[in-house]
Amino acid sequence: MPSITELPCEIVAAILENLDHLRFLAPAALACRHFYTSFKESHGVEVSILRRQITPDVLPYSVALMEAARLPRPLTASAVRTLLDNLYNQPAGVAARLPKFPKALIKKMGRTHDAIHTLARSFARSALRGISPQSASSTSINLSPSEYFRFCSAFYRAEMFYKLFQGPAFEDNMHAALFFSRHPPWENEQLGCIYEYLEAKFAAASFDVVAHDVLFGELSIDYLRTAEAEDNEWRQTWLSHGIEFVYELSIARCYDAKRRMLESALDLDDVRVNLPEELRALYAGFDTRTIGQHSEEELHSIAPRPRDRPKGSMDPGPYQSWRNANSDSTLEESVMFNDKAWLRERAYVFWDRDRMLKLKHEDGFGQDPGSKPAYTDQDYQDMLESFEKRSRIWQ
């Protein structure tokens, strides 16, 4: 029997193409000279592996995100519209452009998807634990293919928003016209869920540094209030750097690494964009009727769906959960409003109908736990005193 080092290069390349993740490619290719030579003489190995790593429904979002980052700056409305038209109306055509990407960009896609995959599953696990603690273990969660698509695509859409609309490139209402108008209200509410999860992730990862670093004290950077607070533009700026920034900060292992990341991203006016503010303004003055007074046809016609839409977006669960939760609210009040924060924490617009039918026997999404103060008056006073002390040290 011939040894593996005697196999034709084509066979070795086919073996490499069946690896489950790009991170396995380098160790495999460097296992011996014959493997390395076979890899170098073959084309498309990385693409084949990436197609195994990223599910077909999610792949167009991954490709489009890389294309968004490569658009010439300053961006034009025409370029953004074309990119989004292709993604939403011809997703298969977008995915088909992957083989033309340089290898460095394919590796970047893999790293980005790793971050989104990890965050998506972490959010889903946390949300399901809030709904039904006994049905979500601390280490694993079983998402259906459509639920997995929904979580991942929402993270990709949020990252796309930050890549396309950072800074003062467009008029205020252009965001809605180009981006949000392509989604029905319950999918825009998904973006609200993602945003609040990311902010909570960022707050936990950055707290120690922002609360103690001398520079951040000199700048009086608020570490207690949310990014929507009037005087907390710094946190909104950091969040505007996007999902990968938040993810890398959350996995940074030491204080100094986090401090360097935060200091390098203090470009206040260049990138800041306020996603929750944009979401709240979407349907202002749209219709004074409550959601319960709208017909199903009216609600679905707000953002007509493309014919070639992913299967994962067809399950009625998210729409039904959104409609039930907002039946007494106007359309304006149905996206990113404070009284639904506890439901967004439980990812109420992400779950399949079958899962929700099962959970209805377990009290649905549970009860509103009521708002809990994020900090006390004493905490706030301590923060102001900390600013003064750190400012004196800085000077």
Q: How far apart are CA 98 and CA 92, in angstroms?
A: 11
CA distance 237 to 256: 20
> Is the separation of the CB atoms in 81 and 181 below 8 Å?
no
pLDDT tens digits for range 99-114: 999 989 999 999 999 9
Q: Which of 319, 372, 312, 323 is nearest to 345 (CA)?
A: 372
pTM, rounded to two decimals: 0.92
pLDDT score for 363: 58
Residue with token string 């979500």: 136
Give the sign of the dihedral formed by CA 183, CA 186, CA 187, CA 192: positive
235: enclosing H helix or E strand: helix 233-239
Identify the band that residue 362 occupies on the pLDDT scale cut at 50, 70 and 90.
low
- Tokens read off for 45: 């190995």
For the ranges 144-148, 306-310, 311-315, the one whose mean pLDDT is highest: 144-148
C-alpha 67/C-alpha 113 separation (Å) is 15
Q: Which amino acid is at 241?
A: H
What are 200's two structure tokens?
């909570």
Whole-number average pLDDT of the chain: 88
Give the burial string for 139-164 (b: 16+ CB within 10 Å, else e): eebebeebbbbbbbbbbbbbbbbbbb
pLDDT at 74: 84
Domain boundaries, the chain: 4-51, 124-395
- Can you read off the two tokens belonging to residue 162? 């930050």
Task: Name 78's Cβ contacts closer than 8 Å, sequence gap at least 6.
Answer: none
- The share of the chain scoring above pLDDT 70, in percent, equals 92
- The letter for the amino acid at 292 is G
Altogether, the residues listed in the chain come to a count of 395
> Cα–Cα distance between 389 and 214 in angstroms, integer?
9
Report which listed range, 38-42, 320-324, 366-370, is most confident: 320-324
Task: Report how far Cα 366 is from the mean position of its chain's Cα atoms.
Answer: 25
Task: Judge contact between 48 and 143, C-beta under 8 A.
Answer: no
CA distance 94 to 88: 9
pLDDT band at 139 (very low <50, low <70, confident <90, very high): low
Lowest-pLDDT choice from 21-30, 63-72, 300-309, 362-371: 362-371
